[in-house]
Structure 1
């Protein structure tokens, strides 16, 4: 009998289809979450290390958890996924349900914690060798404070991905968006240039 007729796989497919996904996560057995974000392509573009063996990893703004689960798959000793905005249902998404479903299906040991980026510190999330700060910075009303918080829990490396603006400035600069002028999304607060984040 083929795996396609397995009732548990059918149930997983139904659960996946019932949620609104951001990340495209390969759950195995031909089941991939229908996320709007091509997460695997983004990972390649960001030049993710092939291995996180022996590393502790913090994923800030984990959402559905693609990058946290990928760090675990690549051998991280410990992974902590954090979120608050999405996981607490602040927007019209599945909240934490996508993360929870993927974690269960993948039989993942990734730790999880609901914590706001501005509350991140060595006391709240401990120190980590590698910190993912992917697609979060431009949503921050206080981007420099957010970067300070990220730096405060990083031992070795931050992998940062963000929307950018003001690229014509050679000096560090950050554009401020007071309303919804970027993508009609009022949660997009800023656009740093490259010099502001390296």
Structure 2
């Protein structure tokens, strides 16, 4: 029986979890896929690092950063915690309690992050956010400003064969029948934006955005072959 001291669980989870006491949560995104993705998002030790997770939702990657040795982690969200999304913060709070976590959290919209208020972080995560905003350039600029060194973007991409930086605007309900899916940049666009925001070194996973070698976690939009998900790393 769930303790009265723990927050209630949401009716629907996005992230999946295996908690230390044996409780398991099977969300929309499978645990195996999340763990594989975490290995690609965190390629190096986090000991002593500060991490900001923008758009954390149920917080899987925030808690992963803490588990992997980050000195401090701040999780932020608004759309999924108290905004227009179907989610809420109950999943995050439940996981936070189950893990006995010290991760901090703020209900904060992606555009409202301010260095003068929060300071900078060694690593900033912008995972599954960029394609949900109407102004991806300004969103990425705001996230980049919070990063002292390392920015990680996970997003839907498109136009991967275009030889110039480009971004595709979806028609309503075109992508996953979700009206909040707006934009899909190509890797050249991500690289150019991050270069403008002061980053000098880049890595994309998978390395070649073609029709080969995609992991299961990256195949959510398999039926629409022209859309691919990618993890994009940028360092100053």
| TM-score, length of structure 2 as denominator length | 0.74
- The aligned length equals 188
Q: How does 1:12-27 map to 2 (within 5 A)?
A: 16=9, 19-27=11-19
Counterpart check, 1:49 vs 2:14? no
Report if aligned partners of 1:19, 1:98 keep a CA contact under 8 Å in 2: no
Report if aligned partners of 2:38, 2:64 keep a CA contact under 8 Å in 1: no
Map of 2:24 onto structure 1? 32
Distance 1:89 1:147 in 2: 20
Aligned-pair CA distance for 1:92: 2.2
Distance 1:190 1:47 in 2: 22
Q: Which runs of 5+ in 2 are unaligned?
A: 192-236
Report if aligned partners of 2:53, 2:126 keep a CA contact under 8 Å in 1: yes
Residue of 173, 177, 191 corresponding to 1:184: 177
| TM-score, length of structure 1 as denominator length | 0.87
Q: Which runs of 5+ in 1 are unaligned?
A: 1-6
Distance 2:94 2:179 in 1: 28
Q: Which runs of 4+ in 1 moved over 3 A?
A: none
CA distances 1:126-172 after superposition (whole Å, capped 9, x unpaired): 20000011111111110010110011110110111100111111211
Residue of 162, 170, 182 corresponding to 2:155: 162
Distance 1:34 1:184 in 2: 22
Hey, which of these two has a bigger chunk of helix by percent? Answer: 1
- The RMSD of aligned alpha carbons is 2.1
Distance 1:97 1:193 in 2: 34
Map of 1:85 onto structure 2? 79
Q: How does 1:1-198 map to 2 (within 5 A)?
A: 7=1, 16=9, 19-38=11-30, 39-44=34-39, 46-93=40-87, 95-198=88-191
Distance 1:59 1:70 in 2: 11
Aligned-pair CA distance for 1:40: 1.2
Distance 1:122 1:25 in 2: 31
Name the SS of the counterpart of 1:163 in structure 2. Answer: strand
Aligned-pair CA distance for 1:43: 1.6
